[in-house]
Amino acid sequence: MKASKKDISSKLAGLLIQIHEGKNRPLIRRQASQLLSRIRPNDIAKAEHRLLKSGFSAEQVQQLCAAFVLMGVMETGKADLVRRLPDSHILRKVAAEHDLFRCFLADLEEVAAEIDRQSSLSAASPELMRLSHILEHLQGMAEHIAREDDVIFPMLKKQGWETLCRSIEKEHLYLQIAIEDLLKLRMAFQNMSFGVFKNQLTSLVRYIGPAMREHLFREEYVLFALALTAAQESSLWETMKTVCREIDYCGFHV
Ligand SMILES: [Fe+2]
Ligand SMILES: [Fe+2]
Ligand SMILES: [Fe+2]
């Protein structure tokens, strides 16, 4: 017999509590994958509401929802869902840009470590040139973020994925501030001592590396994986692609 909508949201709330309690993980993973293909956005909102009413904090609820999606997606073997899309799909371009950002992060960490090993550096040194080059590419992330904030997230929110989108949107703000800070630091190279420059560079890179990787992971393996599982019909994604085309988002400037 098909479970009613009410059953699904209460099953989901029950499962979120079990995840919180850390019980029988293999069984929970199986249940999560079964539930994942049947839930609709409203079910998540209702389950979240139940948990909030029973005393969980908003942050705990967000984390449990993300853990549920992740467990379900991993169990169904759909973890690489975004990667298996055709090249014409809007999320393929998003994921390809994510890959480039991961490469630039690795470059950034490499050059920051090289700079940290030096005892002095001239303004025209290859290390600083390389740093500037990488930062230019990271600045290109603004267009990627705009595409998500202005087109993808609003559409997903309309489908009901409000809470998950909201938590990921906040991260955009912090990432952009960190990139801005890196650019300001680079510009200020000649006006500060090399020791202070190195320390600030190291601490900014130590923040931005894990924060950005975590962000890209949560988008691909939680939010987009969930949205793709729930809304497989192509019209939603086609509409987003059309809007991006109208705004003229390109992505090549990354
Ligand atoms: Fe380049
Ligand atoms: Fe993002
Ligand atoms: Fe992204």
Residue 101 binned pLDDT confidence (cut-offs 50, 70, 90): very high
User: 144 CA distance to ligand 3 centroid (A)?
Assistant: 6
* Range list of H helices, 140-233: 141-147, 153-158, 162-187, 194-218, 225-230
User: 99 CA distance to ligand 1 centroid (A)?
Assistant: 14
What is the rounded distance in angstroms from the CA atom of residue 142 to the CA atom of residue 253? Answer: 10
Share of residues in the chain with pLDDT > 70 (%):
93
Nearest ligand, CA of residue 95? 3
User: 33 CA distance to ligand 1 centroid (A)?
Assistant: 41
219: which DSSP letter? Answer: I
- The predicted model gives 76-87 an average pLDDT of 80
User: 69 CA distance to ligand 1 centroid (A)?
Assistant: 35
Inform me whether the pLDDT recorded for 56 exceeds 90.
Answer: yes
User: 99 CA distance to ligand 2 centroid (A)?
Assistant: 12
Residue with the larger pLDDT of the pair 224 and 172: 172
User: 189 CA distance to ligand 2 centroid (A)?
Assistant: 29
What are the C-alpha distances in Å from 63 to residues 1, 16, 154? Answer: 31, 10, 21
Length, in residues, of the chain:
254
- The predicted model gives 14-18 an average pLDDT of 91
- The predicted model gives 70-88 an average pLDDT of 81
What confidence tens digit (pLDDT) does each residue in 177-216 have?
A: 999 999 999 999 999 999 999 999 999 999 999 999 999 9
User: 145 CA distance to ligand 3 centroid (A)?
Assistant: 6
Inform me whether the pLDDT recorded for 82 exceeds 60.
Answer: yes
Give me the half-sphere count of Cα atoms (radius 13 Å) on the Cβ side of residue 50.
Answer: 20
User: 253 CA distance to ligand 1 centroid (A)?
Assistant: 10
Inform me whether the pLDDT recorded for 79 exceeds 80.
Answer: no
What confidence tens digit (pLDDT) does each residue in 139-190 have?
A: 989 989 998 999 888 888 887 778 778 888 889 999 999 999 999 999 999 9
* Angle formed at CA 244 by CA 242 and CA 245, multiple of 5 degrees: 65
Residue 113 binned pLDDT confidence (cut-offs 50, 70, 90): very high
pTM of the model: 0.83
> Highest-confidence range of 99-103, 144-148, 222-226, by mean pLDDT?
99-103
- Say what the pLDDT of residue 1 is: 42
Q: What is the CA radius of gyration of the chain?
A: 21
List phi, psi (to 5°) of 81. -50, -45
Residue 254 binned pLDDT confidence (cut-offs 50, 70, 90): low
Yes or no: say if 12 and 39 are a contact pair by the CB < 8 Å rule: yes
User: 215 CA distance to ligand 2 centroid (A)?
Assistant: 7
What is the rounded distance in angstroms from the CA atom of residue 212 to the CA atom of residue 102? Answer: 8
Q: From its phi and psi, is residue 154 left (phi > 0), alpha (psi between -120 and 50) or beta? A: alpha
User: 90 CA distance to ligand 3 centroid (A)?
Assistant: 12
Q: From its phi and psi, is residue 127 left (phi > 0), alpha (psi between -120 and 50) or beta? A: alpha
Residue 225 binned pLDDT confidence (cut-offs 50, 70, 90): confident
- The predicted model gives 218-242 an average pLDDT of 80
